[in-house]
Structure 1
């Protein structure tokens, strides 16, 4: 019986092109420890500092500002370092923490050498920084306690700057500080109602309630040794903040707002707070 011819081999199927994870789904990079990514913190960080520099007109404010801003960079890197679970990540985050910490410490030392009485401010800042550090260590960096402590610390930078100029820190300056603290603390509540606590009726009521209390701070300006212009502008700014805290989250249910939009719409109120500080 003749042998049957062998069947021709089937042509091999062309290999499917491998889909690189990098090409289609790029690997998500970790947070850059050298550059803080909390963009909403910049207004809170800089507004009291810059208005304080403008009002004080002293050279001592320069190293204070450097220590404050670079200190924030150090705190951001330290937060990442505290949350890191493996040695490689901790080593990656330790370097910016150490570099920024050294720069901030040198700037603070220079400021104290120029004006030793600045050391008294450590009594006010130490407990506030401690609260923020503990909350970060507990992995709750965005808690109300952490946010409130940092906003109060930021507002205090205004009287710190004024204290470098003899006679500049007046009751009106303290009033402007209270307005700053009330406004920026209110933004913590407001932003949460727009993003993390969106739809939470209880938190919404707490936010509106806090903003109503903040308005009382402004109204008190007419009863204190504060100029009519400062008191009136403060009342206007904090009243507008109350209106937006009450109305915008309700409107957001029908039209979603991005974090960027929320931040941009805060600019007019920030400018109003800056004007209050410059009038003080």
Structure 2
């Protein structure tokens, strides 16, 4: 199968929503937080709006091109012949270099982003290790890559904070570099958006396995349904988080209720003989993925709570 792959163009179409949606949700949080920062506390130039825009673009490029590098690198690690390995070297190096340069630019503009290395490095290490050992579609790899993608939301939100005077002046390469205060300043509603996206995307790992690689496996089917039920309960419980808008919460609950229903109904229809090829499974997920993204964006747009930030 590897011989038919083009290492320059990923063929994992289901991964693209997980690549694209978190930066989009993060952009809304970034702008919302920047708008909430007092004008007196906003930076100027590369320490203000211009720097914020450039940093967000750099982080987005690092993430998207980093995914391309990971895909090509996966082919390079798994290739069983020299020809395929040779084809994968160039995209791995080029994509890796572009992603690395974009990450360095983001760190130069907002050094506080280096704090997120504590989150991303272990997740990326797990995904790379699972690919190296020949199990790129394992549950561990799926959860690690999914979590890494969703963490782009709080990362982008801290970019909005990074353009404020307290952060741009208080977090440099020689002062407070690993301070957690920038992360602690994120509104709890940001983490609710993160949680909704994380629960949904991890749920798709279980669901898709019950439809393709683990089709007909009663253990995986039970695990999928239990996870979706637990996810719905957790989402319902987020109603108690302050400043999470009721409309966003209703959309999220509706999405997870439908996801729970389809975690049982669709595998049941497949068991009765209804054809569910991988492409059909992926297409039918698009409305739900869009729905949870809309809920997360609404949480950002309708957020009207306080923003407290102190770096000292």
User: Which TM bucket (shorter chain)?
Assistant: 0.7 to 0.9
1:45 corresponds to: 19
2:46 corresponds to: none
1:80 corresponds to: 75
Classify the secondary structure of the residue corresponding to 2:73: helix
Stretch moving more, 169-178 or 56-65: 56-65
User: Which structure has more helix as a fraction of its residues?
Assistant: 2
> Which of 201, 206, 211 is the equivalent residue of 2:228?
211
**How far has the Cα of 1:28 moved from its partner?**
9.8
Inter-partner Cα distance in structure 1 for 2:265 and 2:79: 39
Inter-partner Cα distance in structure 2 for 1:85 and 1:255: 36
How many residues align? The count is 254
1:105 corresponds to: 100
Classify the secondary structure of the residue corresponding to 1:257: coil
Deviations 1:58-98 (A, max 9, x none): 41211111000000000001111111233333222111100
Task: Give the alignment of 1:57-136 within 5 angstroms.
Answer: 57=31, 58-59=52-53, 60-136=55-131
Alpha-carbon contact 1:49-1:158 (below 8 Å) kept: yes
Task: Give the alignment of 1:195-206 within 5 angstroms.
Answer: 195-206=212-223
2:297 corresponds to: 278
Classify the secondary structure of the residue corresponding to 1:34: coil
Stretch moving more, 134-143 or 57-66: 57-66
Inter-partner Cα distance in structure 2 for 1:194 and 1:86: 31
Inter-partner Cα distance in structure 2 for 1:213 and 1:132: 25
Inter-partner Cα distance in structure 1 for 2:295 and 2:119: 23
Deviations 1:188-218 (A, max 9, x none): 1111111111111111001001111111220
**How far has the Cα of 1:109 moved from its partner?**
0.9
Inter-partner Cα distance in structure 2 for 1:169 and 1:83: 40
Stretch moving more, 237-246 or 224-233: 224-233
2:275 corresponds to: 256
Alignment TM-score, normalising by the size of structure 2:
0.78
Alpha-carbon contact 1:189-1:207 (below 8 Å) kept: yes
Deviations 1:141-161 (A, max 9, x none): 000110011111111111111
Inter-partner Cα distance in structure 2 for 1:42 and 1:72: 9
1:23 corresponds to: none
Deviations 1:122-151 (A, max 9, x none): 100111111101110110000011001111
Q: 1:28 to 1:129 in 2, by over 3 A?
A: closer
Stretch moving more, 266-275 or 52-61: 52-61
Inter-partner Cα distance in structure 2 for 1:251 and 1:163: 44
**How far has the Cα of 1:54 moved from its partner?**
3.3
Deviations 1:24-67 (A, max 9, x none): xxx99521110111110001111111221233234121111100
Larger radius of gyration: 1
Inter-partner Cα distance in structure 2 for 1:141 and 1:203: 18
**How far has the Cα of 1:113 moved from its partner?**
1.2
